Amino acid sequence: MLLEPSQVPSPCRNVCRLERRICVGCGRTPDEIARWPTASDPERRAIRAAAAARLPDCARRR
């Protein structure tokens, strides 16, 4: 199955470390990371928004 190129860039910052099931680099959950390659652009935008909202919380836990 060939996928069309996405217009939504990955939030990955190559700081891949999970703390309390949230990546401290991008804010995604393991499920969101796994779904990313096959997610539609609207799904990717939703994942990015949810991940961005988690990042401030991740920073406070360190």
- Domain ranges within the chain, ordered by starting residue: 18-61
Q: Provide the whole-model pTM.
A: 0.81
Q: How far is CA 39 from the centre of its chain?
A: 11
Q: What is the DSSP letter of 2?
A: P
Residues whose CB falls within 8 Å of the CB of residue 9, separated by 6 or more in sequence, listed in order: none
Q: Cite the beta strand spans of the chain per DSSP E.
A: 18-19, 22-23
Residue with tokens 């995604």: 28
Q: How is residue 50 written in tokens?
A: 């949810």
pLDDT tens digits along 14-36 = 999 999 999 999 999 999 999 99
Residues linked to residue 19 through DSSP beta bridges, in sequence order: 22
Residue 59 pLDDT greater than 80, yes or no: no
Predicted local distance difference test score (pLDDT) of residue 13: 93
